[in-house]
Amino acid sequence: MRRLTLLLLFMLAFAGCKDNSKSAKAKKVAVIVSTLNNPWFVFLAQTASAQAKSLGYETKIFDSQNNTATETDNFENAIAAGYGAILFNPTDANGSVVNVNKAKAAGVAVFCMDREVNSATGPTSQILSDSYSGCVNLGKYFVKQMRKKGKYVEILGIVADNNTWNRSKGFHSVVDYYPGLQMVAQQSADFDRNKGLEVMESILQAHPDIDGVFCGNDAMAMGAYQALAAAGKANKVKVMGFDGAEDAIQGIKDGKILATAMQFPKVMAQTAANYADEYFKGKRDFPKKIQVGVEMVTGKNVSDYIAYGKKN
């Protein structure tokens, strides 16, 4: 009888530990972002973390430094530390899939923010910007401002990221119909401001007579503008970006940047955190992919916007 009592006590204690472990896991949300070197991603990460905290979860932000190996380490650390959900901004549409699948196998839900992974089954849900449509509008505005003629340069983001090509395809779906517009160079600067500066400096040596620059994000646009200003061409070349970052909004007000496409990182980050909360509470039927609309910002309507969003 004494043995039976001890066995029951042991089983109850074990069950208690198991429940506590599950409870602890359910109270932790990891935020893994591609890089914290870009203020836009800092805003995305901090907003996601703040929303998860407001819902009662312990959070931690991991910086993948635009490196899939670092991203893998971040996933392994988050899984080992008992995080129950990951709010994720991937570094590579294909290369990040293995990390998402690893989390799924460990019972950890993954909600992608802004950037997608090429997997229909790995992420619990993906909340993305409608980059293609946003760049269709930028393309139309670019054609109008260039008066349908001139030489231009395209600076691409990370070539392994779907946003890079969705933006490029949206822009070219309009601009390529105008034979008077000639693209003289197309080069990647990895969504990085310093690389945008270096790439623009290099292109200017071969093509000093350009009239326009289309950049896949605002950081590269600001870097390109810096190179143009140093070369004395800032007033002659029209520069466009994408994101709605603080310096780009100010750049439009100052007449440095022609236009940008405003994304809404707050919407994406808060939606991802809210989804994680609903997941912990038992919901499972999430939309596999959501596209958040973007809005074009120019000198005419820039007063309606602030960094990373629209004025209330």
Residue 20 has pLDDT above 50, yes or no: no
- To the question of pTM greater than 0.75 for the whole model, the response is yes
Predicted pLDDT of residue 9: 44
Q: Which domains does the chain have, with CATH numbers?
A: 28-128+264-293 (3.40.50.2300), 131-263+300-306 (3.40.50.2300)
Paired sense of beta strands 305-306 and 309-310, if any: antiparallel
Above 60 in pLDDT, residue 174?
yes
Least confident stretch, 19-23, 54-58, 159-163, 229-233: 19-23
Share of the chain above pLDDT 70, in %: 92
* Ranges assigned E (strand) in 18-149: 28-33, 58-63, 85-88, 109-114, 125-129
Whole-angstrom Cα distance, residue 5 to residue 125?
A: 47
Statement: residue 76 has pLDDT above 70 = yes
Higher per-residue pLDDT: 217 or 9: 217
Whether residue 284 has pLDDT greater than 90: yes
Q: What is the pLDDT of residues 244-274, one digit of tens each?
A: 999 999 999 999 999 999 999 999 999 999 9
Buried b (16+ CB within 10 A) or exposed e, 74-90: bbeebbeebbbbbbbbb
pLDDT digits (tens, 9 = 90+) for 140-168: 999 999 999 999 999 999 999 999 999 99
Compute the average pLDDT of residues 214-241: 97
Confidence band for 26, pLDDT divided at 50, 70 and 90: low
Q: What is the mean pLDDT of the chain?
A: 92
Spatial distance between the Cα atoms of 150 and 144, rounded to a whole number of angstroms: 12
Average of per-residue pLDDT across 182-195: 97
DSSP annotation of 190 reads T
